Chains A and B, each alone.
Chain A
Amino acid sequence: MTPRARLAVFALAAVGLAALLVWGLAGLPRFGDYEGRYGRIIARDTVPQRKATDAVGVTTFDYRGIDTLGEEFILLVSVVGVMALLRAHREETDESRARAQELERIRKAPLPSESLTLLGQTLAPIVLVLGIYVVAHGHLTPGGGFQGGVVLAAALLVLYLTTGRTAFRRLRAVAAFEAVEALGALGYALIGVGGLIAGAQFLHNFIPHGHSGLLTGGTVPLANVSVGFAVAGAIATLLSEMLDQDLLRSRGGR
């Protein structure tokens, strides 16, 4: 199909799609007039029931906990998929020769400038602490395992950007990242099983909910931490795999 014909087909379809969209969106409640029942019930009951103050976090990890379990496994499967796709190629190249070349490259690589390295070494711990803070307070203030996990992985990216590729390559420990991700996912599932052991349903919030402060919400902070690990591990694995492609390329590919 020529680009012109494709555009014509798209224009036709887009008109129909736009009509459907307008029709569908017109049936929604007027903007600002929301009267949904579930949202109101959760906003009203989160603090009395769970003592934790972030209604969104409690919804994600408690009331809708089973969805989040699925979400976390989506993340896991996608990371496995990316690894399968990207590593397929690595096995095609001559492994031992490639490794020897790589070691040579690491040895010969010029060191990055000292100011850049210093900046990275200063910034990475700060980002790390921020990530831990966001994960740990996910049930009290905006944030949580998903957001904090990404911040944690960003600390790694800072190191990559400021210490140079080769140093990063030495530091890289994909096996550890994979383990962290898998343990995080497992931890979340185990929290669910804990509900069963406590004599209630899967993912039941079986830990005492406390009164105020960090130790509230029962299983919510635990779930936040396990998801934080899983996401940090997943993003770190993805970053490493993608950056590895960059290394393969610059090592003398096409």
Chain B
Amino acid sequence: MSFLPYAVAAWLFLVGVWGIVTSRNLIHLVVCVTVVQASTYIVLLGIGYRTDAAAPIFADIPTSTPTVDPVVQALTLTDVVVEATVVALLLALAIQAERRFGTLDPNELGALRG
């Protein structure tokens, strides 16, 4: 089952995009964006995984112990932080959209603007 993590990532990506396309609510849409981004965490962590290796924390294991890749874990951390900021901005935009147009439905937003 060595392909399973990548399959999960691809599934999350596609199901997230599907959610974005069919979304009827901006808040729901923002959550779908986070689902798409979650797939990138799984790809990153999946790439760095080594069978039977320890976590790259040497507080209580000898430094020669084989560990999973610390670099992709640091990259995932960056990814999570960036996602949090993106979500904050998108939610603020959603609040603003609701205020201007009185609706959170992206379809109706388009109609109002036209």
User: In B57-105, which residues have CB < 8 Å from any A CB?
Assistant: 57-59, 63-64, 67-74, 77-78, 80-82, 84-86, 88-89, 91-93, 95-96, 99, 102
Residue B31 lies at the interface, judged by CB distance under 8 Å to chain A: no
- B109 in the interface (beta carbon within 8 A): no
Which single member of A17, A25, A29, A60 contacts B77 (CB below 8 Å)? A60
How far is B66's CA from A34's CA once the two chains are assembled, in angstroms? 11
Q: Given the complex of chains A and B, what is the CA–CA distance between A29 and B46 in angstroms?
A: 10
Known: A25-B9, A55-B58. A78 touches B48 (CB 8 A): no
Q: Tell whether B112 is near chain A: CB-to-CB under 8 Å.
A: no
Given A44-B63, A47-B63, A71-B81, A31:B4 Cβ within 8 A: yes
- A238 at interface by CB-CB < 8 Å: yes
* Cβ–Cβ < 8 Å partners of B51 in chain A: 32-33
User: Contact between A85 and B96 (Cβ–Cβ < 8 Å)?
Assistant: yes
CB-defined contacts of A121 to chain B, threshold 8 Å: none
Is A81 an interface residue, CB under 8 A from the partner?
yes
Knowing A25-B10, A67-B78, the reply to whether A39 touches B57 (Cβ < 8 A) is no
A59–B89 Cα distance when bound, in Å, is 28
Q: How far apart are the CA atoms of A47 and B57 in the complex, in Å?
A: 10
Note all chain A residues with C-beta closer than 8 A to B22: 3, 6-7, 10
- Contact check: which of B9, B47, B107 meets A3 at CB < 8 Å? B107
CB neighbors of B among A70-103 (8 A)? 71, 74-75, 77-79, 81-82, 85-86, 88-89
**CA A185 – CA B13 in complex, angstroms?**
33
Q: Enumerate the 8 nearest inter-chain pairs by beta-carbon distance, A residue then B residue, closest first.
A: A39-B69, A78-B85, A32-B51, A55-B70, A55-B56, A59-B74, A31-B2, A25-B6
Interface residues of A (CB under 8 A from B): 3, 6-7, 10, 14, 17-18, 21-22, 25, 28-34, 36, 38-40, 42-44, 46-48, 53-56, 58-60, 64, 67-68, 71, 74-75, 77-79, 81-82, 85-86, 88-89, 140-142, 144, 146, 231, 238, 241-242, 245, 254
Q: Which residues of B contact A (CB under 8 A)?
A: 2-6, 9-10, 13-14, 17-18, 21-22, 43, 46-51, 55-59, 63-64, 67-74, 77-78, 80-82, 84-86, 88-89, 91-93, 95-96, 99, 102, 107
